A and B are shown apart, each in its own frame.
Chain A
């Protein structure tokens, strides 16, 4: 099975900050990775697909990069509505696996 790790597990940031979250796969997954945002009590929402493609309707301050085993999600200027938990997901091979999540809260 492919293991996904995320760092950091949590971070505190201020509105306007640049935030970077890293996801690492235990083996190469090409670009078969998505990033998801989840707010309390809500379903996850896809932000990025194919590692670097922005989901339609998602603000351009979100961006993704990487391929193979290392991936990043960057929020260029954190907004109040961005405080949430972020997950990566590999869909290269079964069983599909999520990262453990990164909680972004207000400093």
Chain B
């Protein structure tokens, strides 16, 4: 069974940093592309970032470019999102999702940016 479990969310002050993790199981993680998607409270879904299976190709939404860094460790079956210079508008539930057609999603982790 495919499972994606996010962790690392929490309360952080504006300008602060946070690192999210997504632990994958039930499939050969190293063979799959991965994404991060977020959802602000009461709002719709927003794609954040993509990483290829090898990690060699990466894309970001303009809203996070230069502040967020996606990475993966295929030996640990894990995906990461390093978030720096956080703003109030980054407050959201962050989901990891598999493949470029988003077939499986994790349950999400809440990031709150507030003083």
Give residues in A with beta carbon < 8 Å to B.
32, 34, 36, 38, 42-46, 49-50, 55, 87, 89, 91, 94-101
Seed contacts A45-B105, A94-B59, A98-B47; 4 additional CB < 8 Å A-B pairs: A36-B102, A46-B105, A95-B61, A96-B35
Closest beta carbon of chain A to B39's beta carbon, Å? 9
Interface residues on chain B, size class: 10 to 19
Are B45 and A44 interface neighbours, CB within 8 A?
Answer: yes
B47→A100 contact, CB < 8 A? no
Kindly provide the distance from the CB of A31 to the nearest chain B CB, expressed in whole angstroms. 11
Most buried by B among A32, A44, A87: A44
Q: Which residues of B contact A (CB under 8 A)?
A: 35, 44-47, 50, 59, 61-62, 95, 100-108
A96–B51 CA distance with the chains assembled, in angstroms: 13
For B59, the chain A residues whose CB sits under 8 A away are: 94-95
Interface of A is mostly: loop
Query: Chain A's nearest CB lies how many Å from the CB of B52?
Result: 12
Which of B46, B62, B104, B105 interacts with A98 by CB under 8 Å?
B46
* Tally of contacts, chain A with chain B, CB under 8 A: 53
**Given A43-B107, A49-B101, A94-B59, A87 and B45 contact (CB-CB distance below 8 Å):** yes
Give the residue of B46, B62, B103, B108 whose beta carbon is less than 8 angstroms from that of A43: B108
Q: Which residues of B lie under 8 Å from residue A87 when comparing CB positions?
A: 44-45
Q: How far is the CB of A41 from chain B (nearest CB, A)?
A: 9
**Which one of A34, A42, A94 contacts B102 once the chains associate, using CB atoms below 8 Å?**
A34
Given contacts A34-B101, A91-B100, A91-B101, contact A43 B44 (CB under 8 A): no
Residues of A within 8 A of B104 (CB): 46
The one of B44, B47, B61 in contact with A101, judged by C-beta atoms closer than 8 angstroms, is B44
